[in-house]
Amino acid sequence: MKKLLGAIGILLFLALLFWIFNAYIYREKERDEGVNFDYKNSSYFIDGQLITLKDGVSEIPAAPGSATMITTRYFGNAVEADLDKDGDTDTAFLVTHNTGGSGTFYYLVGAIKEVSGYRGTSGVLIGDRIAPQTTEYRNGNVIVNYADRERGEPMTAEPSVAESLHLRYNPTTNDFGEIVPEFEGEADPSVMKLNMKTWVWIETLYNDERVVKPKQPQAFTLEFLEFGRFGATTDCNQMAGNYTLGADDAVVFDGAISTKRYCEGSQEGEFAKLLENTSHYKFTSRGELILDFKSNGGTAIFR
């Protein structure tokens, strides 16, 4: 009898070891596929780079051998919801991303619950040096509420303007897309046209983190006319010239001329430079026209 009990005990022990080994192999397979067990110790794509948090923090060199560090940190404002509609609870939260300059960029990321852990999403930029307030989940959307600066205010100004960004998770692409609630007419980029309206310059974002905004809102406009001509206004003069469209939404501005008034402190040169540097364009669901610069130099935003 004792031998039988001993044999049963050995079999149970071996079965337990087999279960533990298989669980370990399964977890390692899930880890190789990007699944982690804790969303503060998971990997996310932020600004095109894979960032792995450890206890909510990541620090990597900005370049090989560089003393400048890119620091990504769990900020919080987490919201729990079934983002991918598979019956379990996922988590979305904010992180801060510092690339070594003066900016502190806030991103929303998601941790999607899998069988044995979490799969990180691509992050979506909320803003630079904003003041996050709350994050909610409503009607299938993650809503990030925050305060930003008035247009034209310097980055040193305290954020005071209430803003909300409505985002929805896409399981196919594993990222978030912006949803514009109750937006009338212009929210579908597929039907937007360059000549549909007169566009107003909002700001320019350079890849060295500089942000340039017009000091006189509404002064800088861009209009796409017939026969490949464009017209523009600035804070000083009127401009006109040619534009040429190419494949893959390429656009080139050339032959620009303007009236010759002199205005102290005018940003006309900055505006002319952004047109000269433009290589491509696209539309957003916020009804914006985005002009992309050559060599990934930055973008200009028009509404």
Domain regions of the chain by residue span: 35-178, 189-302
- Tokens at 268, concatenated: 């006309």
- The CA distance from 107 to 190, in Å, is 26
- Tokens at 119, concatenated: 């799969």
Provide DSSP, 7-55. Answer: HHHHHHHHHHHHHHHHHHHHHHHHHHTTEES-GGG-EEEETTEEEE-BT
pLDDT digits (tens, 9 = 90+) for 69-110: 999 999 999 999 999 999 999 999 999 999 888 889 999 999
Higher pLDDT, 108 or 2: 108
Average pLDDT, stretch 216-243? 93
**What is the pLDDT, as a whole number, of residue 15?**
55
- The CA distance from 182 to 173, in Å, is 25
Does the CA dihedral 88-94-95-97 come out positive or negative? positive
- The CA distance from 219 to 234, in Å, is 5
- DSSP conformation class of 287: S
Instruction: Determine which of 33-47, 130-144, 194-208 has the lowest per-residue pLDDT on average.
Output: 33-47
pLDDT digits (tens, 9 = 90+) for 3-41: 555 555 565 555 555 555 454 444 444 444 445 668 899
- The CA distance from 244 to 176, in Å, is 33
**What is the pLDDT, as a whole number, of residue 122?**
93
**What is the pLDDT, as a whole number, of residue 277?**
95
Topology at the third CATH level for domain 189-302: Lipocalin (2.40.128)
- The CA distance from 26 to 20, in Å, is 10
- Tokens at 7, concatenated: 């044999």
